[in-house]
Amino acid sequence: MSKQHEIKDVQPIRSLEKIEDMKWSLKKWCGERDYILFLLGINSGLRVGDLLKIKVSEIQGKQVVSLREGKTGKRRTIHLGNIYDELNAYIGTLNGSEWLFPSRKGQNPITRVQAYRQLNKAAQMVDMPDGIGTHTLRKTFGYWHYKQFRDIAELQNILNHAHPQITLRYIGITDEQIESNLKSFRL
């Protein structure tokens, strides 16, 4: 398989400091659109393909939205209260665009390839040697949701995975981390 077509197993961003670095880098080097894409991705757990299909009319002025996921066809409720102000300030700059993440060329949203390029550009600026992929946003959401609530069944449901093991592997919770947690577990 050629280097260009290798499938990269991306990981979640496990450091809050690196998440803040990425936010800074996206704002400085890429722009508000790409920053908001990252922010919405890590706070919603939606796939990048679903994020790119969001229309302004579906989300503007709302703290809770219901969107249909492309891969599963299932409806998903997204709570935006924690990023509402930033999201709506950004929407105010879109000058009537139909799409939440409009391309600078034409009337369409940006592509997955363009989203990937922008995310990697920002990652390179903050010394993330492995870079990141479009799934990094969803995996980061899953990782931090699990770290905060420790409810794998709930997260499995949110991410629409068939089994808890799929979810644990997806968010990068390894046997080593589970073992480490169990060593310090005491009631």
Indicate which residues carry an active-site annotation. 47, 71, 135, 138, 161, 170
CA–CA separation, 132 vs 25, rounded Å? 13
Contact between 109 and 100 under an 8 Å Cβ cutoff? The reply is yes
CA–CA separation, 95 vs 98, rounded Å? 9
3-state SS of the chain: helix, strand, coil percent to 5?
55, 5, 40
Contact between 33 and 44 under an 8 Å Cβ cutoff? The reply is no
